[in-house]
């Protein structure tokens, strides 16, 4: 099926003019409130979880590294704290270790 220019891929999606349920400002306030309550920064929690779970580490890296087209990043974290990255660039499947 081909789409006409300007045609939505999801015609039953959110109608125009409807805003998100929560704003970024409200999200920040909620995060600050929870961080204060638990006396622990949310980012610190994710970094600690990444030490034990490579999926969490991968999600963090995807958020903090630049968005590179056609790039796969494999990362592993050893128990002594060493991080190893393998970056695959381009569509040729060439593997090049990160600097």
pLDDT digits (tens, 9 = 90+) for 13-54: 777 778 778 888 898 999 999 999 999 898 888 889 988 998
Answer whether residue 71 shows pLDDT above 80. Answer: no
pLDDT tier at 3, thresholds 50, 70, 90 = confident
Domain count for the chain, please give it: 1
Q: State phi, psi for 27 to the nearest 5 degrees.
A: -65, -45
Q: Please indicate, yes or no, if residue 10 is contained in any of the structural domains.
A: no
Per the confidence metrics, is the pTM higher than 0.85?
no
Q: Please indicate, yes or no, if residue 13 is contained in any of the structural domains.
A: no
Q: Please indicate, yes or no, if residue 9 is contained in any of the structural domains.
A: no
**Helix or strand run (H / E) with residue 83:** strand 83-89
Q: Is 41 left (phi over 0), alpha (psi -120 to 50) or beta?
A: beta
Q: Please indicate, yes or no, if residue 5 is contained in any of the structural domains.
A: no
Q: Please indicate, yes or no, if residue 50 is contained in any of the structural domains.
A: yes
- Dist CA 4 CA 2 (whole Å): 7
Q: Please indicate, yes or no, if residue 72 is contained in any of the structural domains.
A: yes
Q: Which of 52, 42, 44, 45 is nearest to 81 (CA)?
A: 52
Range of the domain at 53: 24-97
Q: Please indicate, yes or no, if residue 15 is contained in any of the structural domains.
A: no
Q: What is the pLDDT, as a whole number, of residue 36? A: 93
Q: What is the pLDDT, as a whole number, of residue 89? A: 67
Q: What is the pLDDT, as a whole number, of residue 74? A: 81
Q: Please indicate, yes or no, if residue 73 is contained in any of the structural domains.
A: yes
Half-sphere exposure of 61 (CA within 13 A, CB side): 22
């Amino acid at each position: 099926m081909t789409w006409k220019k300007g045609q939505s891929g999801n015609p039953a999606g959110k109608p125009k003019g409807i805003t998100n349920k929560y704003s970024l400002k409200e999200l920040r306030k909620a995060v600050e409130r929870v961080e204060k309550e638990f006396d622990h920064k949310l980012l610190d929690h994710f970094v600690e979880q990444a030490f034990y779970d490579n999926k969490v580490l991968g999600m963090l890296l995807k958020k903090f590294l630049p968005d590179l087209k056609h790039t796969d990043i494999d990362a592993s974290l050893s128990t002594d704290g060493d991080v190893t990255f393998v970056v695959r660039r381009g569509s040729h499947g060439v593997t090049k270790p990160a600097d």
